[in-house]
Structure 1
Amino acid sequence: MLPDFNDTTTLITLLIIPLAVQWWSAWYPGAEPGGGGYIAQRMLAAKDENHAIGATFFFNALHYALRPWPWILVALASIVVYPDIASIHEAFPNIVESKLGDDLAYSAMLTKLPSGLLGLVMASLIAAYMSTISTHLNWGSSYVVNDFYARYVKPKASQKELVNVGRISTVLLMVVSSGVALLLTNAYQLFNIILMFGAGTGLIFILRWFWWRINAWSEISAMFSSGIISILFNFTSLGVVLFGTAEADGILPNWSTYPVVVLLTSIVWLAVTFLTRPEKDKTLFDFYKQTQPGGPGWEKIIIKARAQGAALVMTNQKWSVPAGILATLVGCVTIYGALFSTGYWIYGYYTQASILTLLTLIATIALVKLWQRIKTRVF
């Protein structure tokens, strides 16, 4: 569960940064800290708020506690079958050396499947790939069409013209993304780039619910600055000078790349927030009426609305966010307790497995109690 405390780099990158910085600062598709399109689509499709909470927790249980274990078991088996990269190259001599890496072990293990199962896995991988690609291309194209072209370039454009712009932008996005993919040598690089492209933006997505001063320019400046800074650090010599390489040290330790991106991005969006005008009073009033965020960050707006004869607070219920934060922490214990207890049962460490399983059950009961405090019913 815990990394080697004598290995400073591993300790910082795998434990300290995720716990201290990454969870609130990083935007990652499907795991936005303040909520986002991926999860919101599913939650808004639920019958009511209680169903949405239950479904989201069910997704997290399956995604983080159950789904990793088939991957982990295949990975462990791959270490036995292909103990090093040389053994993979020996088994598949036609693979070019620039593409050889540890992440090929999973693909190599797929060749051990019988034909029927291999066909099923290939069909599922193609379906997953196509659905992800189409989602992201449509998502990116919608930004180009709705948020840029129709708003700033040609507001009176016909629907036919907007459809054509969408088609062209979809093709261009596919070409550019394919070019970027060819420059990469392994999956970890891509994961790292996506993580750093969203570094520093996560806090905005949390604060926009609880602080009236966040505006559109806050988000725009954060997205652009994190993207530009990440490109400079990953694709230019600046990153090598500042953070070094595997062979040579830089000015700063290699693990500090992500925190530095977060720090610089945060400085930019905070400066932009205070240098630009806040949203209009009507926009803020309407937002509060719809979401009822509560908390001290909106007190100024509530007072201003009251002075204008407008009532924003629509409920007398106690603010549920503190209980929600506690439920988040207990939920993390529940999910990760289930994840690691499963591993201990598989590995035969029955004492640790029993303790963690008991902790998971206690956390689950506590979580249900907390949900009942937040809502009149949970499911």
Structure 2
Amino acid sequence: MDGYQLFMAMLAVYICGLICIGWYFTKRQQTVTDFWLAGRKIGTIGIGFSSAASWLTAGGILAVIGFFMLLGMGSIWGFVAPNILALLIIAIFVKKFKNLPSITQAELLEQRYSSAIRAPVGIIITIVMILFAVADIKGFALVLQIFYGVDPIYAALIVALAVSAYVTLGGLSAVVWTDVVQFVFLSIFALAMAFLAIGAATSGSADISSASDLISNVSTDWWNPFIIGIPMVLIFVFAIIPGWITEQDPWQKVWAAKDSTSARNGLVLGSFLVTVVFTACAFIAIGLNSLYPEISAMGFPMGMGLAEPALLTFIVETFSPAVIGLCAIGLAAASMSCADTFATSGASCVSRDIYQRFVKPDATMKQMLTINRLSVLFIVAAATVSSFFINGILDAIHIATFIASASYFFPLMGGLYWKRATKEGALAGLILGGVAQISFTVYDLLMTAPMAPPYLETVHPILMNHGVIVGMGLSGIAFFGVSLLTKPSNVINLAPFFKDVAEELASHDAQEVDDQSLEYQNFLKTLDEQITGERAHLHLRLESSATVNWRKFIEQLREAYPVWVTPTGLDSVYRLIQADMLACVSITRGENEKEIWFASEPQVDSVEMQKKEVFIAYKEVSKALENVGILLTIPSED
């Protein structure tokens, strides 16, 4: 068995293990929330390891090592520091958005502004996620090309088929727990390579006999993270971090966490784990610089073509086929752990923000799970095709980040904290910033000569990174300026985000429930209750006597009972009677056109009261259905 056959055998075993994890979770999915948010049951360890694994792509790691070799610690501001800082910053904002009843950022923005913004944001996020996944596929393609001379298309197919298999089976639960496995492989690989590269650099030199000698010989400038100058550091920070703190996939993990504490601590843990891997990358670079001094002598950017694959070259020249195969598995884990997250996040926009919201609002849960899985396949396929048209690994990541920063950073973060933000302002910021950034990027790529600095950077430093600072500036000016010139947002849109507004809007008319009645006791037997972290999950699945015309039914329900609202379309209807919207009873269509599902996620200390609210909601829904000749009843126990 040659080296490639050995690798394929190990990869097959590895992928089978991932698919088994996906299969395990597929039987535990009852709702779209289960698929996309893992039933909101993920703890600190799952959030932490998954967050770290999702941001450590194989291509990114190879590029980081290359930048460390050529530029030293001054290079951290282009990728390393934003990775670490973004997770910590998101942890600060956890409490603000953890309890918002959203599955995607586009859905959240519709709640805040209007339906007009949902599709554009959903499309932008989908494009961003595809570009991120491109970097994963290209990184793995580089690994297989150097290790085994394999054509890039086969690397793309391996990632595409593997990720599609376990994600379409297990949804976000499969993503999180396969990420845990994948991070273990990746971190062991990175730490082992750091020791081996340092060891190889010291064993063949008479002047450098120990790791401490090797490290002490590194120049002071190499260690200085601010050697590029504070203005350049600030440009990188403001260009990259806004795009990453508004990236959808970590927000979905926050929404999937069982409570705010788990989400916050998980993100902090993820930031620490990312730091560990990047620290290993720095030591790998030190060892490789000693082994291949001719690469660092070439400088940046001329040496990047050799620095990026330098670790792979070292592995091929040093180790046996079995060890090379294990290294390939470690880098495959890095590729898949990112690609699965981006596929899941992008597919949620395709299925929920576009298909369900605008194509088929009355889609059943069974139909939505099918569309969800097809959307994952679409994202992976689009990334696979795109990987053959984009050359740079980090360039794909940066382009995606800059588009996100310049388009929806201000509408998203401004909408969370500024009541005066309006839908017109959000659309103006989104469109002007997005169009400007895409135009800057295309122009910069067309005007830049091969192996030359980016064209816009030579015009003026403020235009570096494809002009993203200017793009963000235009977006911010449009967002704040137009918001101040237009009518304030409707209180229905403000309620989920600002507690004082929700309290003014919510109905506090008390409705008595006879908790000793036979009807209520039968209801309690049907109600499914689970406690996870700080919240309880109450679910009620009922079937009506006939097919329900969902649109007509919701219109009649809202007319009869004004407390029922549809802030994000007819697919999710809320009984808005309290400030905590996640606790408010919601109804959705079930697996078929006769089923109606009720859900509520109250704080644990208010579960008993909320059970009565679900019962009241059931009575109101039943009455609205009776008006059109349809019965909805609680099945009685024999």
Which TM-score band (shorter chain)?
Answer: 0.5 to 0.7
Which AA in structure 2 matches 1:255? M
Contact conserved, 2:445 with 2:454, CA < 8 A, in 1?
Answer: no
Distance 1:225 1:164 in 2: 35
Distance 2:363 2:454 in 1: 54
Q: Name the residue aligned to 2:270.
A: 59
SS of residue matched to 2:387: helix
**Aligned partner (choices 192, 201, 204) of residue 398 of structure 2:** 192
Distance 1:218 1:131 in 2: 36
Q: Name the residue aligned to 2:617.
A: none
Identity across aligned pairs (percent)? 19
Cα deviation per residue 1:76-99 (whole Å; 9 max; x = unaligned)? 2222333346999xxxxxxxx9x9
Q: Name the residue aligned to 2:419.
A: 212
Distance 2:373 2:495 in 1: 37
Which AA in structure 1 matches 2:329? A
Query: Unaligned 5+ residue runs, structure 2?
Result: 1-72, 76-220, 510-576, 581-638
**Counterparts in 2 of 1:30-109, with a 5 A limit?**
31-32=245-246, 37-38=249-250, 41-42=253-254, 45-46=257-258, 48-64=259-275, 66-84=276-294, 100-109=305-314
Matched, 1:266 2:476: yes
1:146 deviation in Å? 0.9
Q: Name the residue aligned to 2:332.
A: 126
Which AA in structure 2 matches 1:27? G
Q: Structure 1 residues 71 and 209 mapped into 2: Cα distance closer, same or farther (>3 Å)?
A: same
1:287 deviation in Å? 3.1
**Counterparts in 2 of 1:98-247, with a 5 A limit?**
100-111=305-316, 112-159=318-365, 161-200=367-406, 201-214=408-421, 222=429, 225-236=432-443, 240=447, 246=453
Structure with larger RCO (C-alpha < 8 A, sep 6+): 2
1:62 deviation in Å? 2.9
Contact conserved, 1:197 with 1:227, CA < 8 A, in 2?
Answer: yes
Contact conserved, 1:198 with 1:223, CA < 8 A, in 2?
Answer: no
Contact conserved, 1:196 with 1:226, CA < 8 A, in 2?
Answer: no
Q: Structure 1 residues 122 and 218 mapped into 2: Cα distance closer, same or farther (>3 Å)?
A: farther
**Counterparts in 2 of 1:306-345, with a 5 A limit?**
none
Give the TM-score taking structure 1 as reference length: 0.58
Contact conserved, 2:356 with 2:363, CA < 8 A, in 1?
Answer: yes
Which AA in structure 1 matches 2:253? Q
SS of residue matched to 2:497: helix
Contact conserved, 1:85 with 1:100, CA < 8 A, in 2?
Answer: no
- Between structure 1 and structure 2, the one with the greater Rg is 2
Contact conserved, 2:429 with 2:475, CA < 8 A, in 1?
Answer: yes
Which AA in structure 2 matches 1:246? P
Matched, 1:11 2:222: no
Distance 1:207 1:287 in 2: 11
Distance 2:265 2:366 in 1: 41
Distance 1:227 1:262 in 2: 9
Choose between structure 1 and 2: higher strand proportion: 2
Distance 1:216 1:101 in 2: 48
Q: Structure 1 residues 82 and 183 mapped into 2: Cα distance closer, same or farther (>3 Å)?
A: farther
Cα deviation per residue 1:28-50 (whole Å; 9 max; x = unaligned)? 2xx44xx854156257525x544
Distance 1:135 1:60 in 2: 17
1:247 deviation in Å? 8.3
What is the aligned length? Answer: 280
Q: Structure 1 residues 136 and 57 mapped into 2: Cα distance closer, same or farther (>3 Å)?
A: closer
Q: Structure 1 residues 220 and 138 mapped into 2: Cα distance closer, same or farther (>3 Å)?
A: farther
Distance 1:222 1:84 in 2: 47
Cα deviation per residue 1:287-306 (whole Å; 9 max; x = unaligned)? 333xxxxxxxx7xx59x939
Contact conserved, 1:233 with 1:239, CA < 8 A, in 2?
Answer: no
Which AA in structure 2 matches 1:59? G
